């Protein structure tokens, strides 16, 4: 066992379990492997009871009923100790999400070794059964990772509790995704098994994209943010789940503009989501977006195999719709997409083309501020030349009142960085700027 492995001991949720766990470690460290196994199994049963009791104290009726049944079985003298222990594991497996399936399997395996260690199990030479060091280490590791370090969570009411909590706090977090993510993970998701996590995701999805009652409509946006948080936390598991149950996740009424907007934004944030849907639904979504309003119809990078193809779609749209107004929110989303994928050059091409379509002085001023000023310091020489050509050829840009000032900014921020010849800008006769202190 490595020292780093034993650090998991500090993460044990229950203080009582943490105290008794020291006995397990003491027996293991002194090569008393039989004692270590017996104590470990006992501690597993106790830890599960501690968690059920905590859930009961929190008002979880499912945990309350389960504990009542177990307490009744323990009080029944006819009922053997090993029988109620096994019954506890079975009931937890069947009626709760406290344990993953593989954890149940590992507990069964541990119980078998506990029985061999606790009872007179002799081989043909009358030697007591003794598990080897590696087997005991594996049992300890499994119980730590799968049981001891995990806190309890509500068994049946978790989804309704979560949805109610989101409804109450939606105005606090509706514009604060980062803190919403931290809050939900700390209070709910970090406590969930994968099975419970996916069950909750499935129900929240239903609330957002399938149901239309007033409560679901009112909370659709915050619930969709919750789905995004869950995708960010366990993307691979969620996407695999969606592929395995496609009918549940492709039954969306795309003629509903709000649902179309929400699923599009979800796909933008997690592009692999789109490819996880059945091809028929991908086609339906693509068709719906083709006739959607701006900017929704352009927030479709998840449909394309590479950055170039998507950037070409945007360029083509601007060419065909020169008067289009790209909002700051929309522009930020596209810029962040190209930036997060490591190539802002495509965004620079889009920004320069958008600037080139300025049809009046005020529009040129605004587009310089929103789309040109932020990229000046990262322009390459070919991109700069393209920008200068745009300014030189469009009278609505080079004749505006701010042109001289803005052009001077371009020169000052590119000349030294790109090591340009002093005569470089002279090629563009309509590009006027302050080129020295004497001007």
Question: Domain residue spans in the chain?
Answer: 3-148, 157-292, 304-439
- Tell me, what's the pLDDT at 243? 96
Three-state DSSP class for 437? coil
Give the end-to-end CA distance of the chain in Å, rounded to a whole number: 76
Is residue 395 classed exposed, middle or buried when 0-12, 13-18 and 19+ CB atoms within 10 A define those classes?
exposed
Distances from the Cα of 423 to the Cα of 79, 412, 435, angstroms: 97, 14, 10
- Tell me, what's the pLDDT at 7? 72
Q: Give the lowest-confidence range in 188-197, 343-352, 419-428.
A: 188-197
Q: Is the pLDDT of residue 337 over 80?
A: yes
- Give residue 426's region: left, alpha or beta (phi > 0; psi -120 to 50): alpha
Q: Is the pLDDT of residue 275 over 90?
A: yes
Distances from the Cα of 254 to the Cα of 257, 281, 289, 290, 374, angstroms: 7, 10, 9, 12, 36
Q: Is the pLDDT of residue 383 over 50?
A: yes
- Reported as a single tens digit per residue, the pLDDT across 121-166 is 555 555 677 888 999 999 999 999 889 988 786 555 678 889 999 9
Which residues share a beta bridge with 128?
A: 122
- Name the residue among 223, 235, 238 with its Cα closest to residue 184: 223
pTM of the model: 0.72
Q: Could you tell me where the beta strands, DSSP code E, fall in 161-320?
A: none
- Tell me, what's the pLDDT at 3? 41
- Return the exposure string of 38-71: e unless at least 16 CB atoms fall within 10 Å of the residue's CB, then b: bbbbbbbbebbebbbebbbeeebebbbebbeebe
- Reported as a single tens digit per residue, the pLDDT across 3-49 is 445 678 888 989 999 999 999 999 999 999 999 999 999 999 999 99
- Mean pLDDT (the chain, rounded): 90
Average pLDDT over residues 263-268: 96
Share of the chain above pLDDT 70, in %: 93
Interacting residues of 385 by C-beta distance below 8 A, sequence separation 6+: none
Q: Where is pLDDT greater, at 238 or 82?
A: 238
Q: Give the lowest-confidence range in 7-21, 54-68, 161-175, 202-216.
A: 54-68
Average pLDDT over residues 343-365: 97
Cβ atoms 52, 14 nearer than 8 A: no
């Amino acid at each position: 066992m490595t020292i780093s492995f034993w650090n998991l001991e500090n993460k044990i949720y229950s203080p009582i379990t943490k105290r008794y766990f020291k006995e397990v470690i003491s027996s293991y460290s002194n090569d008393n492997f039989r004692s270590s196994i017996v104590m470990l199994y006992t501690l597993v049963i106790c830890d599960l009871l501690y968690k059920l009791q905590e859930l009961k104290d929190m008002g979880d009726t499912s945990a309350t009923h389960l504990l009542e049944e177990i307490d009744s079985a323990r009080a029944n003298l006819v009922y053997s100790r090993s029988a109620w222990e096994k019954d506890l594991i079975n009931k937890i497996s069947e009626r709760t999400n406290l344990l993953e399936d593989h954890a149940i399997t590992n507990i069964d395996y541990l119980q078998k070794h506990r029985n061999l260690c606790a009872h007179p199990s002799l081989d043909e030479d009358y030697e007591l059964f003794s598990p080897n060091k590696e087997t005991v280490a594996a049992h300890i590791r499994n119980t730590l990772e799968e049981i001891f370090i995990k806190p309890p969570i509500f068994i049946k009411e978790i989804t309704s509790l979560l949805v109610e909590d989101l409804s109450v706090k939606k105005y606090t977090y509706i514009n604060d995704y980062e803190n919403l993510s931290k809050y939900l993970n700390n209070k709910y998701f970090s406590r969930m098994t994968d099975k419970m996590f996916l069950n909750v995701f499935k129900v929240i999805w239903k609330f957002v994209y399938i149901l239309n009652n007033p409560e679901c409509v009112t909370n659709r946006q915050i619930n969709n943010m919750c789905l995004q948080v869950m995708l960010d936390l366990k993307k691979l598991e969620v996407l695999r789940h969606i592929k395995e149950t496609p009918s549940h996740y492709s039954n969306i009424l795309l003629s509903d503009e709000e649902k179309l907007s929400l699923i599009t934004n979800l796909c933008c944030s997690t592009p692999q989501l789109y490819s996880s849907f059945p091809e028929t639904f991908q086609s339906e979504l693509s068709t719906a977006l083709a006739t959607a309003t701006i900017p929704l119809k352009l927030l479709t990078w998840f449909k394309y195999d590479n950055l170039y193809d998507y950037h070409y779609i945007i360029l083509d749209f601007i060419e065909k719709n020169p008067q289009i107004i790209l909002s700051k929110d929309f522009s930020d989303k596209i810029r962040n997409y190209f930036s997060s994928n490591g190539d802002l050059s495509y965004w620079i091409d889009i920004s320069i083309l958008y600037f080139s379509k300025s049809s009046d002085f005020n529009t040129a001023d605004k587009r310089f501020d929103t789309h040109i000023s932020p990229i000046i310091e990262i322009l390459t020489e070919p991109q700069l030349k393209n920008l200068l050509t745009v300014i030189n050829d469009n009278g609505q840009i080079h004749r505006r009142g701010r042109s001289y000032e803005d052009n001077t900014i371009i020169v000052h921020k590119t000349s030294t960085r790109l090591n340009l010849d002093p005569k470089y800008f002279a090629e563009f006769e309509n590009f006027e700027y302050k080129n020295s202190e004497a001007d």
